Structure 1
Amino acid sequence: MSSIGLQVRQAVPSLDPVVADYAVGYVGHISSATEDSVLSQQLDIPKEIHFIEQLLISAGGDVTKVEALGNKIQQNLTKKLNDNMAKLSITGDTSKRLLDIDLINNQQRDLDSSLALLQSTTDIEHTGRLMETRVDKKKLQKAEAKIAKKVAKRANQFVQYEASKLINEQKTEDYDSFFLKVNPIDFGAGAGKSKDIKIDTFDLYVGQGQRILSDAQLTLAYGRRYGLVGQNGIGKSTLLRALSRRELNIPKHITILHVEQEIIGDDTPALQSVLDADVWRKQLLSEDTKINERITDIENLKKEFDEDSLEVKRLENEQNDLAQRLEEVHNKLGEMESDKAEGRAASILFGLGFSEESQHLPTKTFSGGWRMRLSLARALFCKPDLLLLDEPTNNLDVPSSTYLAHYLQTYPSTLLVVSHDRAFLNEIATDIIHQHSERLDYYRGSNFDSFYNTREERLKTQKKEYENQMAVREHLQQFIDKFRYNAAKSSEAQSRIKKLEKLPVLEPPHEDKQITFKFPDPEKLSPPILQLLDVSFGYSPDKLLLKNVDMDVQMDSRIALVGANGCGKTTLLKILMGVNTPLDGSVSKNTRLRIGYFAQHHVDGMDLNQNAVGWMSSKFPGKTDEEYRKHLGSFGITGSLALQKIQSLSGGQKSRVAFASLCLSNPHILILDEPSNHLDTSGLDALNDALKNFKGGVLMVSHDVSMINTVCKEIWVSENGTVKRFPGTIYDYKKYILANADASGVVKRH
């Protein structure tokens, strides 16, 4: 093998030692296989050598030298294989003759026992007779949950609790298998049954015994659209995940679909991917094809027998059964309007920004954000009885989010959506569920604004009741303390003691922790501050992305840049910052101008292995750790959060670190690309207030209609290759989008 190693290094002098050792070891493995009577019959030496050649070439090897080396090794191995095969044809396979037949049988029994142990559902490891478990898993799950609850309550902290192996079984399943497991095909068993969901008094845990809901009740009326709101990290996504996996008791006849993560890209066209998402339709069409093929086979088989023979009667009975089943399949496909499926799928994709051309591209060609849209399109196409959406507008532009809201307003089944987008919830929600303090509070008949106002009134009332009771308690206690041992007043003191004991125990009202952002006030600059004059840009002169753009950003500007994804919004921001150079026109900026840029993918610019304090001190040196911690605290990164690795922070917390770093450059102009993503309600309120009070200019790309309406005074629209000021508010722009939709409700793309 040392000679092969030398030959490999001579052919590829700069080869990494690890790759060289792997290549030599692989050749050694092939060489050993030529000596084995079984492996040698399955060995394809040219194919194996081709793999080694491709490995060495990809590692920097010269193609000619590598191919010469490959031919030499292949000749040697082929000769060795032929010699061994010739030897075996004379001597036979002596390796197996050395083994006693009883030993072989014993080994086979041991192997069978090991396989049975791996495949069984045993809960206890033992060396005696293998016994199949008879434990009821549902009862075991309930018992384990009770134990975990007791342990967590006793420790009053996060605990590690190892549950039964039966519960911890993990199996990787493809989408179709998981869908059918959660939603078995229903041929009428659920007809007429209520699709309301009511789950009484349940607890929900996450991670290592951390409880997120205690004695909670979940009530979802069929046909209502619920917005689930609450602070980051409170467990909203965990609740959706538990519902999607039927970990909570949801009737089997209610179909569920959860848009949780982007789909895995492959060679499937986008349109076909959406069609395949309806696994019921896919399975029924497949069954339809198989039944028709079998019926055709039966017709052909019947010709081979006499008409009165038993074989013909048996085939006719099978044919009748198949015909009956085929009718059921056709009826089910008719209920699903299967014949209209492709048009409906294309309409949904187009509304979410997929052009007619891109609908036929493989899913692997799309970026993460577009694959998330594809997941959303698949869910809308399936029309489940319970649709679960987690922050669906995070990857959408204003036209797509407008289309989605418009589509969901007429969604016929139950919708439960986690979102911090106020305008989106205002448009689609019929009810709000507020998750906090391990409980769920319902605000029926409320969109987000009415929930927010009602909740504020509730908090004021609860606070007033609590304060009044505390005052009464204090007054009674003072009298008791003063006259408890006074003979003349003892009866009155006893009366007040009884009154105090009868007072209901009120908990102080829960209020979300309020945070504030503040951007430092920059010094004044003389205009022009930042201007684009007749700017055109494209990655090639014959294909312009933007043309003849004029824009002026001043110290008091509040500009929202909107438009469909891919129309050049982020490109325009990069031109303003000097990252992209225009092909034509000019960019004029004040020489003292400082720009603070918040990137949509700001995490890419962070060192996730550092903590927030360390990262900021490396990026903006010159302050003490205490000063950095104080600064981060003003953006809600308090206590130990500032010293945790950035990778362990939530998406909203990472965004707050990014905003905190913006301030340290004391910018005159803030350029923000999707600043609202991942922020919860308190974070959005803090950002809105900070931007309104900022003394510099603001230019933002955002899909958050509520933020745009609160902060921005001007709406600029990117479409048809240019950027123009829109004559109206962001709500006027949404009306403009819907007015330009076709009859099917699909937003026209520019």
Structure 2
Amino acid sequence: MIKVENLSYSFPQKDLYNKISFTLEDDQHCAFIGTSGTGKSTLIDIIMNPERYIFDGKLEITPNCRIGYVSQFSQLDKTKEITVFEYIAEEFIKLQNEINSICAEMETSSDIDSLLEKYQQSLDALDAIGGDDFESNITKKLNLANLSKYEDLMVSKLSGGEFKLIQVIKEMLTVPDLMIMDEPDVFLDFEHLNALKNLINSHKGIMLVITHNRYLLNHCFNKIIHLENTELQEYNGRYIDYNFSLLQSKIELQELADADAQEIERNKKIIDKLRFAATYYTCASRGRALDARVSLLRRLEERRIKEPFVDIKQPEISLVTENEIEETIVLKVNDYSASFKDVLLENVNFEINSTDKVALIGPNGSGKTTLLREIFKNNHESIEIHEDVQMAFLSQLQGEMLNESNTMQEEFFEAGFKNYDEIRTHLFNYGFEEELMNQKIEALSGGEKNLLQLAKISASKANLLLLDEPTSHLDTYSQIALEKAIENYNGAILMISHDFYSIANCMDYVLLIEDKTIRKMSIRKFRKMIYANHFDKDYLEIEQKKKEVETKIALALKDTNFVLAKALSEELEALIKLL
């Protein structure tokens, strides 16, 4: 269906792909992964619009291949006066109207032959997208996504997450040969994420999905395409098995690299001795021995293990506070209410202490972001903030906290940095190379913009962080780095998130929006609630054991204890088989 062979492409300031190759074939559901800014969305655009790009290599797509596409930047048109059913059925209704119009024209026209040709073309187009059963197919898909009650609702009434699912359904129902989705999971609550999982797994046909969502990655795909450092590799199998294969490669390569490092160090010492001897003794044989050792050292250094898929630089996210507050209440919400046409929240009461890490969760459109913004504005009578609190805010609307017309360097000069070296050092920890300092922020990927927001928040040294979907668009390596940073942070955090893993791994407790108010829930109860609804009963226990073994392997590799690392990898493999 699709074959990419030795494809290379560069931006003026950055090489994206170096002779990458892969194929997509019948019934493959492929997850497209890689760190932020590696060019995943650009590669999708090349596949969809090859005529816009000048690239080296081959791109072969089956003739007349119909592509369905769901963008990560889909926006709900609040002015569109159309029901959910009518929105999904637009293409079908359009073709039906064309057929009816042609039939009416036939009754009075003398040019029957051309009309018959148009009639047949419209019939074929309707048949190609399953037009005979489109009404029942729409109902089935809405049921599968648990959205059947919205069939007659106006599109303008949908939340962003609901609209994203409706878009997925609309594209799937046109029976594309290739279904492409770019981060369709962003901002979906867990119920809608589960609905997306069901839609993906029910789809018949080829699918290519950019995602960093660990829940989807573990439950939806039978092929992985991984793009890192201009190179790409494909893996036929589950994401969890692919990760295990990477870990095995990492153990083997680090063992080889360690042996190489020891050999390099041994040769350097020999060369130092030979050079010292050559300084005092003029001898051709000594010179030849020195040259031979230098040549051997050069060969050893050239063959050093360079593996783009296992040696991935994880950003060093550091959340620090300059003004730590002794254990006390830093945020108090008393009898808070919020309305937007309808009542979103009422009778909301909660307190957050100076070191609490708190997740604010609830369905899409339930008022979470509204509440977080009100806290940041700090001018609502129901919200009390400690006088020593300094707040920082991460917005899911990235252009709100970043001036996208700025370069990165300009943005951080405006944030109070004194000189270029200070900016470069700070941003390098977040994965931004020096050549990107003068790049416009608007040219960055969604994940890079969120990392940039986190870099600004870190520099602010605030002691209360308000984070609205901080893991959205972040690759899995950055998500894990953020979790570590949150664990090590000494201030308070109130975080809106639909990422089950981030909540379970680093939050102290949850504030759950239910029936237009908020109740406190322990992480233990939150885990039970999610697992009871969406996982087998043993899944949690196996996942926890898996994480413990992975941590032990990481420590063994740090100590260069490769025998232990290999033994633990066998234990890990047994756990993965249970999942």
CA distance in 1, matches of 2:463, 2:126: 66
CA distance in 2, matches of 1:217, 1:640: 27
Counterpart residue number, 2:573: none
Query: 1:296/1:346 Cα in 2 relative to 1: closer, same or farther (>3 Å)?
Result: farther
1:716 to 487, 490, 511: 511
User: What are the Cα deviations for residues 633-687 of structure 1, in whole angstroms up to 9, with x where unaligned?
Assistant: 3333452434444344443333233222223443222111111123233322221
User: What are the Cα deviations for residues 149-200 of structure 1, in whole angstroms up to 9, with x where unaligned?
Assistant: xxxxxxxxxxxxxxxxxxxxxxxxxxxxxxxxxxxxxxxxxxxxxxxx3626
Q: Is the 8 A contact 1:262 1:374 kept in 2?
A: no
Structure 1 residue 275: deviation in Å?
1.6
Matches within 5 A, 1:246-285: 248-252=59-63, 254-260=65-71, 261-262=73-74, 265=77, 267=80, 269=82, 271=84, 272-276=86-90, 278=91, 281=92, 284-285=95-96
2:360 to 552, 561, 564: 561
2:397 to 585, 589, 601: 601
Q: Does 1:423 align with 2:224?
A: no
CA distance in 2, matches of 1:352, 1:641: 47
Structure 1 residue 390: deviation in Å?
0.8
Structure 1 residue 538: deviation in Å?
3.3
Q: Does 1:508 align with 2:293?
A: no
CA distance in 2, matches of 1:738, 1:356: 28
Structure 1 residue 458: deviation in Å?
1.0
Which residue identity lines up with residue 256 of structure 1 in the other structure? I
Matches within 5 A, 1:36-55: none
Counterpart residue number, 1:232: 36
Q: Secondary structure at the match of 1:538?
A: strand
Counterpart residue number, 1:725: 520
Q: Is the 8 A contact 2:360 2:494 kept in 1?
A: yes
Query: 1:738/1:514 Cα in 2 relative to 1: closer, same or farther (>3 Å)?
Result: closer
Counterpart residue number, 1:439: 231
Matches within 5 A, 1:511-660: 511-521=311-321, 522-538=323-339, 544-579=343-378, 581=380, 586-620=382-416, 623-660=418-455
Q: Is the 8 A contact 2:145 2:195 kept in 1?
A: no
Query: 1:689/1:354 Cα in 2 relative to 1: closer, same or farther (>3 Å)?
Result: farther
Q: Secondary structure at the match of 2:173?
A: helix
Q: Secondary structure at the match of 1:529?
A: strand
CA distance in 2, matches of 1:640, 1:246: 27
Same amino acid, percent of matched pairs: 21
CA distance in 2, matches of 1:633, 1:533: 42
Which residue identity lines up with residue 269 of structure 1 in the other structure? I
CA distance in 1, matches of 2:460, 2:169: 41
Q: Secondary structure at the match of 1:513?
A: coil
CA distance in 2, matches of 1:612, 1:333: 46
Counterpart residue number, 1:27: none
Which residue identity lines up with residue 194 of structure 2 in the other structure? T
Q: Secondary structure at the match of 1:382?
A: coil
Look at both structures and tell me which one has the larger radius of gyration over its CA atoms: 1
Q: Is the 8 A contact 1:554 1:697 kept in 2?
A: yes
Q: Does 1:460 align with 2:258?
A: no
Structure 1 residue 282: deviation in Å?
5.0
Which residue identity lines up with residue 262 of structure 1 in the other structure? S
User: What are the Cα deviations for residues 223-279 of structure 1, in whole angstroms up to 9, with x where unaligned?
Assistant: 232111112222211222222347721223653222235379575625333222x4x
Structure 1 residue 690: deviation in Å?
0.5
CA distance in 2, matches of 1:643, 1:332: 48
CA distance in 1, matches of 2:394, 2:120: 62
Structure 1 residue 689: deviation in Å?
0.9
CA distance in 1, matches of 2:161, 2:404: 21
CA distance in 2, matches of 1:374, 1:684: 27
TM-score using structure 1 length: 0.58
Query: 1:391/1:549 Cα in 2 relative to 1: closer, same or farther (>3 Å)?
Result: same
Structure 1: 5+ residue stretches without partners = 1-196, 302-313, 740-750
TM-score using structure 2 length: 0.73
Structure 1 residue 218: deviation in Å?
1.4
Matches within 5 A, 1:185-334: 197=1, 199=3, 201-207=5-11, 212-245=16-49, 248-252=59-63, 254-260=65-71, 261-262=73-74, 265=77, 267=80, 269=82, 271=84, 272-276=86-90, 278=91, 281=92, 284-286=95-97, 288-290=99-101, 292-293=103-104
Which residue identity lines up with residue 596 of structure 1 in the other structure? A
CA distance in 2, matches of 1:383, 1:614: 47
Q: Secondary structure at the match of 2:477?
A: helix
Counterpart residue number, 1:48: none
Q: Is the 8 A contact 2:338 2:367 kept in 1?
A: no
CA distance in 2, matches of 1:569, 1:355: 26
Structure 1 residue 602: deviation in Å?
3.7
CA distance in 1, matches of 2:518, 2:183: 28
CA distance in 1, matches of 2:135, 2:485: 53
Structure 1 residue 207: deviation in Å?
4.3
Query: 1:233/1:536 Cα in 2 relative to 1: closer, same or farther (>3 Å)?
Result: closer
CA distance in 1, matches of 2:146, 2:31: 25
Q: Is the 8 A contact 1:561 1:699 kept in 2?
A: yes
Which residue identity lines up with residue 228 of structure 2 in the other structure? H
CA distance in 1, matches of 2:8, 2:83: 36
Q: Is the 8 A contact 1:598 1:675 kept in 2?
A: yes
Q: Is the 8 A contact 1:352 1:403 kept in 2?
A: no
Structure 1 or 2: larger strand share? Answer: 2
Matches within 5 A, 1:120-159: none
Which residue identity lines up with residue 574 of structure 1 in the other structure? R
Q: Is the 8 A contact 1:225 1:415 kept in 2?
A: yes
User: What are the Cα deviations for residues 509-546 of structure 1, in whole angstroms up to 9, with x where unaligned?
Assistant: 23222321112244232422222233333368xx5321
Q: Secondary structure at the match of 1:545?
A: strand
CA distance in 1, matches of 2:40, 2:349: 44
Structure 1 residue 387: deviation in Å?
1.1
CA distance in 2, matches of 1:235, 1:297: 55
CA distance in 1, matches of 2:488, 2:508: 14
CA distance in 1, matches of 2:145, 2:420: 49
Counterpart residue number, 1:698: 493
Q: Secondary structure at the match of 1:715?
A: strand
CA distance in 2, matches of 1:648, 1:319: 48
Structure 1 range deviating more: 469-478 or 214-223: 469-478
Q: Is the 8 A contact 1:577 1:595 kept in 2?
A: yes
CA distance in 1, matches of 2:339, 2:468: 20
Of structures 1 and 2, the one scoring higher in RCO (CA 8 A, sep 6+) is 2
CA RMSD of aligned residues (A): 4.4
